[in-house]
Amino acid sequence: MSKTKAQLQARVDKLEVEMRRMSRALNQAQLDLNVDEVWDFAEITPHISEQALEAVKRAHAEWDYNVHEPDARIDTYIRSNAGLDWSWEKPYRKNGQFSWCGAFAAFCYTKVRLQIRKKIFPSCYRLHTNWAKTSRYIHPEKTQVGDIVVVYTSKRAVQGDHITLCTDISELAEHGMITTIEGNAHGTLGDGTNGEGVITRQRSLSQIAHVYRLLGEDFDE
């Protein structure tokens, strides 16, 4: 019995998703062996730190987990000491229960000192209040891989509205776009579908409110 066009298309879609997942797995394996074989960081961002590289690797790994609302893994970002360490919060069980974009960034930057993750990463307001007048503050056009990028949504608050992590700037100079991995957002999930959770997407310079770059003193020794 011949298959219908819809069935064939569904098969094609499934194979494309599997190919994307296999490609990401291969890239991650190559990254673990030799980062420069996957991304030419010397060309893309000449001053990326070892800590920023590790944060980007963790972000990619979380994206590959295909974390979508309300995945129990989100609770790890919020309540464990690898993320915000807000252990007093109720376990995350319901979409919208907690604005966890900063918790995801904290989990990616898990080697940042706990008190910084706990007190500064939770919100755009805290980042802006503590870092906007320090050397961590970076002009958007100078964004690098590993930077914490706060973007505007429709609210357009002074401090910005949503916390992301820059993972690629290869289109910044030519098209004014960066690629991010984000938590608590809508975009492309780890399985290649659109959804809400840990996602990747492109952000234009016009969407960027503030950019912050961690200093060596912010990390555990």
At 152, which CATH number? 3.90.1720
- Same domain? 70 vs 160: yes
- Same domain? 30 vs 53: no
Cα 142 from chain centroid (whole Å):
18
- Same domain? 35 vs 122: no
What is the reported pLDDT for 1?
56
Tell me: the pLDDT tens digits for 142-159? 999 999 999 999 999 999
- Same domain? 24 vs 54: no
- Same domain? 145 vs 205: yes
Query: What's the CA gap between 147 and 105, in Å, rounded?
Result: 10
- Same domain? 96 vs 170: yes
- Same domain? 35 vs 55: no
- Same domain? 119 vs 205: yes
Residues 6+ apart with CB under 8 A from 25: 64
Is 50 exceeded by the pLDDT of residue 42? no
Amino acid present at 188: T
Question: To the nearest whole percent, how much of the chain has pLDDT over 70?
Answer: 82
- Same domain? 30 vs 96: no
| Average of per-residue pLDDT across 190-201 | 96
Residue 119 DSSP symbol? H
First to last CA, the chain: 65
CA distances from 160 to 129, 163, 177, 211 (A): 12, 8, 18, 10
Helix (H, G, I), strand (E, B) or coil at 35: helix
Residue 2 has a CB neighbour count (10 Å cut-off) of 5
| Average of per-residue pLDDT across 72-84 | 97
Select the more confidently predicted residue: 213 or 6: 213
Picking from 26-30, 85-89, 217-221, which range would have the lowest pLDDT averaged per residue? 26-30
| Average of per-residue pLDDT across 203-212 | 97
Which band of pLDDT confidence, cut at 50, 70 and 90, is reported for residue 3? low
Is 90 exceeded by the pLDDT of residue 26? no
Per the prediction, the chain carries an average pLDDT of 88
| Average of per-residue pLDDT across 131-144 | 97
Q: Which domain holds residue 159?
A: 49-218
pTM, entire model: 0.81
Query: Looking at the 3D structure of the chain, how many domains does it have?
Result: 2
What is the reported pLDDT for 20?
54
Which band of pLDDT confidence, cut at 50, 70 and 90, is reported for residue 121? very high
- Same domain? 84 vs 4: no
- Same domain? 12 vs 98: no
Is 90 exceeded by the pLDDT of residue 66? yes
Nearest to 188 by CA among 197, 62, 128, 108: 197
- Same domain? 85 vs 194: yes
Is 90 exceeded by the pLDDT of residue 28? no
Is 60 exceeded by the pLDDT of residue 14? yes
